[in-house]
Amino acid sequence: YSIVAVVFPQLFPAAFRDMHGVVAQYFESAMVITVLVLLGQVLELRARERTSGAIKTLLGLAPKTARRTGANGDEDVAIELIAVGDRLRVRPGETIPVDSVVIEGKSSVDESMVTGESMPVLKIIDARVIGGTLNQSGGLVIRAEKVGRDTMLSRIVDLVAKAQRSRAPVQRLADQVAGWFVPLVIVIAILAFAVWAIFGPEPRFTFGLVAAVTVLIIACPCALGLATPMSIMIGVGRGARSGILVRDAEALERMEKIDTLVVDKTGTLTEGKPKVVAIVPVQGFADDDLLRLAASVERGSEHPLAFAILKAAEERKLVLGDVNDFDSPLGKGATGSVDGRKVALGNAVLMKQLDIDTGALDAAADTQRQSGATAIYIAVDGRAAGVIAIADPIKQGARETLDALRKKGLRIVMLTGDNATTARAVATRLGIDEIEADVLPEHKSEAVQRLQAQ
């Protein structure tokens, strides 16, 4: 309009001219409107880019290459070339390339980046491992079972992308409102132009045009159509970066209607990193002596609790001894000889199998369990020597967060696979009244469904 007014002013009737006979021009208004629209698009693109970073982060968990082993030895190949059935070697500190099953070796695997469980998981022969998780301590030979888009990591990425594209009920409502709102705004703009053109002062047509354009610009429902999808995209993206996967936009919207929050213990309320919190020696042994002997034996173990003992010995700068005749009965503990002394540490089952009387330490072990710790017996030369307590510290700010949720009227339920004594000790410190302990992972969904039915 303004360009035509400058180049061909003779085309405009007298009603479009001011008292000086000049046709009004609106270059500055058009510029401001264009800049605002482009600025909005730039902000939208930046928000989308930050949100897509969540998907890029998830994709970054998968390694770009894998070490395939065969008759001609090991070779590094691109991850895209891995086929189902290929044998892959994974060294300590490397990332599992694809979803596989262990066929050789034993190791602890950190699955926190995929499952959210911070405690390392012990993997032995026939155990399944997830692509993108971190092999920590031992070497593994695995057989690829799912590759490409079939891996769990790829399915999680698809889930995040699908959630970002999903439409919430309120978004559908906004689209319906916009469908009626736009025609209504156009009708109002035409009426505004007509009223000014008929009843307005001179130049009537100019005032009418300005009024019509003003109505269209101010009442444009751009924000109505963009606000909801952008909010969903940003919310889902920020959640993914924090390890929270939102199934779809409807689930995100329904969050404000929930009345019960079900939380896991390990890695959620606690740090998921076990620490030695107490050492109870019998007479004749010192704390550092027991810790040194225990750490010397556990140096050959791959159990997650062994790392806690080794970490405590490292913090105390203890010099470890060489271990001989090491053995690690699955699920019981570890044994070995250190500096000519036979050392055994583990649970009561192991002590009973070795005919070691732990009666003098049972009370101390029960006390540690009641405080939420795991009690490990240690025996030296066939005699009970003490108890080492290992606990998973509660996360800083967990109590304050739960208190804030309770003030909002939420009911808090702790659902954990740990024993009832440990779960009750943690719940007491956090002010949680409702506990469901000893729940196996495959049964946790049933517990949630039971709570939903209440």
Active site residues: 264
Asked whether the bond before 13 is cis by omega within 30 degrees of 0, the reply is no
Place of tokens 């806690």: 308
In this structure, what are the phi and psi dihedrals at residue 414, rounded to the nearest 5 degrees?
-95, 125
Q: Are 377 and 365 in contact (CB under 8 A)?
A: yes
E-only strand ranges, 216-321: 260-263, 275-281
Instruction: Name the DSSP class of 138.
Output: S
Residue ranges of the alpha helices (H) in 303-430? 304-315, 348-353, 359-370, 398-407, 420-430
Residue 200 tokens read as 């307005």
Separation between Cα atoms, residue 429 and residue 426, nearest integer Å: 5
Beta-carbon contacts of 267 under 8 Å, excluding residues fewer than 6 positions away, are: 112, 116, 117, 118, 119
Q: Is 426 exposed, middle or buried (0-12, 13-18, 19+ CB in 10 A)?
A: buried
Separation between Cα atoms, residue 99 and residue 88, nearest integer Å: 11
